[in-house]
Structure 1
Amino acid sequence: MKLENLGIEDLTVDLKPLDHVMGKHAFIRADQWDYERVTYDYKIGSQEKNITYYVRIQGYAIEGNVDRRDAVIKLMTPLLGKHYYPHGIEYGEEENFPKNLIERAKNLIKEAKEELIQYKK
């Protein structure tokens, strides 16, 4: 599910402060990157058996290189996904997401965005 119109999409930020702020807000990049792209995930547990939710924020380098940590990243529209063990994450609009989970995801993104704005390029 796309989480649109939250003001984080199209934000451009240097990678170093982006990593710092996202980590501060528990969005983990881990090994989810290549030379031109980054992905930050926030994991949300569930009472449902074998289900975990993820708030995902992706971005791509408009300048520099992620590997050299000199990239300027343009963020994309965040996603809310549902992980079905062991099959993977589904982001489709046909997925059923609880309203309180959607609101929680939006608030997490808004909080990170408010801090990222000060690093906007």
Structure 2
Amino acid sequence: MTDGEMTDRVAAAVDELAHRLVHDLAHPSGDGALDARWQALARLRVLVQVERAVHDLEQGAARAAAVAGAGYPEIGRAASMTRQGARRRWPGLTRAMPGLPPRPSPRSSRP
């Protein structure tokens, strides 16, 4: 699956989730203009919560990748960014992760 296809599928899933959550919220009945405004605001509220949830899930996934042994180059590729971009986004992620052996310093490899 290409990145574009994945983006389309994710967007469709989030759109469906937002639609269901807005529908599940109690909303006022009244004239169409008020109802349309309320629905638009409720959708915005839901999507802001989706963004927050995705951020938290993303942090957890990056941490899990590091715990599983992935380095910044791999994490960056998975996130469609450079190694440096991943390091800036998730600083200290691969340092001192539980279960990972400490990385030797470049000087310790010299005789």
Q: TM-score, normalised by structure 2?
A: 0.27
Q: TM-score, normalised by structure 1?
A: 0.25
Larger relative contact order (CA 8 Å, sep ≥ 6) = 1
Instruction: Name whichever structure is richer in strand by fraction.
Output: 1
